[in-house]
Chain A
Amino acid sequence: MPGIDECLLQAMVVPGARGASVVDWTSGLALGTVGEAPGGDHEATAAETAELARMAAEYPSFATDETPAPDGTKGLPVEDLIVTTRTGYHVVRFVETTFDSSVFLHLWLDRDTGNLALARLRLADLAERLILG
């Protein structure tokens, strides 16, 4: 059955991908990881990224947009979070679920070989397929 592992393996196919994970941002739990982690420790990276994601997802400045999209769908208020560093990109995509959850997909990219726009689109697609199958 396709699940977390397949989703992560497909994330690693994105050009420039160095590491990927599925994380619960309330608890900081890494549900699944693949490839490298910035400090060599996936669990520590998950806990730190979770803190950042929680603030983006919950602080009123970002999470107030309750307006339905033009096609009538009402998705998550915050879709993704992008951090650029001197040597890399981090793309965090929030996963929308039909059950109560707080999950995101995190992709770490090499700055030279990664393409931020492409990575963001691919990650959005993967996040949707992780839940819808």
Chain B
Amino acid sequence: MTAAATPVSPMLVRLAEERATGVLVRDHGALYLADGHVVHAESPAAPGLDVLLTAGGQLAPEGWQEAVASAGARREVARFLVDSGQVTGGALEICHLGALHDAAFFTLAPGSGPTRFRYGVAHWIGTVRPVPAAAVVREARRRRGLLDSVWPHPEVDTAPLRRRAPGHGATATRRQRALLELADGVRTPSAIARAVGRPAFNTLIEVRRMAAAGLVETPSEPAAPTPAPLPDWVAGFPADPDIALLRRLRDALEASL
């Protein structure tokens, strides 16, 4: 299968063909490549692997911090988590693949600014389960189609989630109820995803289903696009990747104080 002619795809396909290693940065996120495969992705719109693992108590936040501190410099945080018995290989792969495709979905969003690639940069998480770049592009495109097939109103994705008054006949499912409980008219789907420790796309698809079922409101006005900016350490293309790691560590420490 070939990738569609979206602006980012040709570049990603070329990088995959030349088995490139480095980081591809766009307005809404970053994809990390190793030997042409996508090994990690990050986006401000998508909860990170740390959130997915710690929100439900699978991993203690201290366990994550210890892994980053102990194995971040040698870029083996994932391996450390498994080897230290805190997370099994299967659980880590499931969470990491979920996070990877989630962040890739936002990173590869059509028309989100210029695409840059810096060769040689590796992520400190290390290698979990590399995905062919073409598969990542294909999945991101499938996801976009799936959202629109459920309820073609992207404005519900970014607006604060508001319940509709009951009486429309539809009943929320077990997993939808967990989202509705946090729908206070302030939190956006992205914020709710973070709170429950679920990938943002999985939350968006449920929000679209709930909007289609009349369980939540569909805003009449398109929400003003307020894309969360990428952290400086990614967007700024630091010359030394270790500086990126140190900044990341500092941010994590500050956040935990």
Binding site for B on A (CB under 8 A): 1-4, 7, 22, 24, 26-29, 31-32, 43, 47, 58-60, 63, 77, 97-103, 129-133
Q: In chain B, what residue has the closest Cβ to A66?
A: B174
* Chain B residues with CB below 8 A from A101, complex form: 94-95, 98
* Docked complex Cα distance between A78 and B58 (Å): 22
- How far apart sit A43 and B134, CA to CA, in the bound complex (Å)? 13
Q: Does B4 contact A (CB under 8 A)?
A: no
Name the one of B90, B101, B175, B199 contacting A133, with C-beta atoms under 8 angstroms: B90
Chain B interface, number of residues (Cβ within 8 angstroms): 39
6 more A-B contacts (CB under 8 A) besides A31-B93, A77-B174?
A: A24-B98, A31-B98, A58-B174, A98-B91, A99-B95, A131-B88
Q: Are B101 and A60 in contact (CB under 8 A)?
A: no
Contact across chains for A27 and B202 when beta carbons are under 8 A apart: yes
* Least distance between B208 CB and chain A CB atoms (Å): 12
Closest Cβ of chain A to B13, distance in Å, is 18
Interface string of B89-104 (1 = CB under 8 A from A): 1111111011001000
Q: Which of B84-129 contact A (CB under 8 A)?
A: 88-95, 97-98, 101, 129
20 cross-chain CB contacts under 8 A? A1-B83, A3-B129, A7-B90, A27-B202, A28-B146, A29-B98, A31-B94, A63-B173, A63-B174, A97-B58, A98-B57, A100-B197, A101-B94, A101-B95, A101-B98, A130-B90, A130-B91, A131-B88, A131-B91, A133-B90
